[in-house]
Structure 1
């Protein structure tokens, strides 16, 4: 009986030993795979962080450059135009009864319009505009500037209770809107442009739509480097910087719609 018990114990120990030996490689592969997945995850996080920091630096440089250009427009070009206007006023007085009066008045009105546009443009280039006035007034200001030309009808449609997304995010949204509007003005031949800004509890949705001639998105995105513009890629990259998403929806003959989604609570 004791011999039988001893044999059972030996067999049990041997079985356990064999199981350990056969299971060790599986356990090793499992642990190795977990470490490899963790390594890949850390590499991806490091790469994303690096790309985010790089894009943030680019945006900061761009904002500083645009702000400087805006200040130069306001201070230098604006002053020169004001001096020109003063000279035209003086010239108008000097030629009060001359046949040149209508031409001088037309030129003065034109210079006044240029001064107004330069001041408006200097504001759109200043990133402090969003911080001072908020996103919705800044978007309306952009549309009003286009509307004054008289060729394109514009509309801003706000939905929901507005809230702040933070200066950085709202500045990026304004730059993305400016990029989209610029593309519409240059290429779309649109008659109307509408911006829809929807404040949801968990995210902010921005849509910029025109009724222009549209284009094939895949064809534009796949153009060779010598023919491709950076505008569309900039939209995707800027949205992803703060955990958002951008979709470009367009077809020839049916216009273009840019849809941007930004989370309300930004990832740390």
Structure 2
């Protein structure tokens, strides 16, 4: 004769099973919640770090713009005026000298000073933040390349692809500064004879390429240099592109260097 468990035992077993299941569910829920919070915490830290880097770079750009603005004003108001006075003195000197060779020398010097005045005015415009706001990126790039072309040693070219559209004042200012830095690197180190800037206005992205035909360099070696050494500015190019939500790649296979900046179109 078999005995059947009474109701009290059944209730205890059922209650224990339910309690055990609840404990398992609670444990799993706690583990899931813990990992979710951990991921959220990591993401929050990453966002805070990115915001900090963005604000730091933004402050650096604002300081640079203010500094360049002051330099532009000094070039235009002080140096430009002094060079104009030099031209006036040369005009007077031309009337005073008698010999033909001396007059030619004065004329050549005067033309040289006038060329310097034109370069100073162009440089002051490209350094002026308001120039980008008023005229946009492409005219500023053209102005910068014309200034380099007037030196007579390097041929420059600006190529535009696609239908141009506005990128925003801050973005265009940063792109101009990145281009100026890349061009300056090519002039100082590459021994280039040609500089080519290409602006490609795609439907969903914008890309800017600065290429030269110089001697090239080791990109990895330059990136690894310390802050006080030449080449540390390459990291600045990467950071600025990242601040704009894009990328910057630099290739130098041995002959020529190409800086390629790509931004998504917002």
TM over 0.5: yes
Contact 2:219 2:252 in 1 (8 A): yes
Secondary structure of 2:209's counterpart equals strand
Structure 1 residue 129, shift from structure 2 partner? 1.3
Structure 1, residues 54-76: CA drift from partner, whole Å, max 9, x if none? 21111111111101111111110
When the two chains are superposed, the root-mean-square deviation of aligned CA atoms in Å is 1.9
Instruction: Give unmatched runs, 5+ long, in structure 1.
Output: none
Contact 1:213 1:255 in 2 (8 A): yes
Question: How far, CA to CA, are the matches of 1:127 and 1:222 in structure 2?
Answer: 31
Structure 1, residues 71-112: CA drift from partner, whole Å, max 9, x if none? 111110111111111011011112245652121111111111
Could you tell me which residue of structure 1 aligns to residue 92 of structure 2?
Answer: 90
Question: How far, CA to CA, are the matches of 2:66 and 2:47 in structure 1?
Answer: 28
Could you tell me which residue of structure 1 aligns to residue 165 of structure 2?
Answer: 163
Q: Of 209, 220, 229, which aligns to 2:222?
A: 220
Q: Of 131, 134, 143, which aligns to 2:133?
A: 131
Instruction: Give unmatched runs, 5+ long, in structure 2.
Output: none
Structure 1 residue 5, shift from structure 2 partner? 7.2
Contact 2:160 2:200 in 1 (8 A): yes
Superposed, 1:72-151 pairs within 5 Å as: 72-97=74-99, 99-151=101-153
Contact 2:225 2:232 in 1 (8 A): no
Structure 1, residues 131-160: CA drift from partner, whole Å, max 9, x if none? 111111111111111111122111111011
TM-score (norm 1): 0.92
Could you tell me which residue of structure 1 aligns to residue 203 of structure 2?
Answer: 201
Structure 1, residues 152-179: CA drift from partner, whole Å, max 9, x if none? 1111110111110111000000000000
In 2 relative to 1, CA 193–20 (structure 1 residues): closer, same or farther, beyond 3 Å?
Answer: same
Contact 1:207 1:258 in 2 (8 A): yes
Question: How far, CA to CA, are the matches of 1:217 and 1:170 in structure 2?
Answer: 25
The answer on 1:71 being equivalent to 2:87 is: no
Question: How far, CA to CA, are the matches of 2:31 and 2:61 in structure 1?
Answer: 44
Q: Of 136, 142, 154, which aligns to 2:156?
A: 154
Could you tell me which residue of structure 1 aligns to residue 263 of structure 2?
Answer: 262
In 2 relative to 1, CA 119–170 (structure 1 residues): closer, same or farther, beyond 3 Å?
Answer: same
Runs of 4+ aligned residues of structure 1 deviating over 4 Å after TM superposition are 1-10, 96-99
Could you tell me which residue of structure 2 aligns to residue 40 of structure 1?
Answer: 42
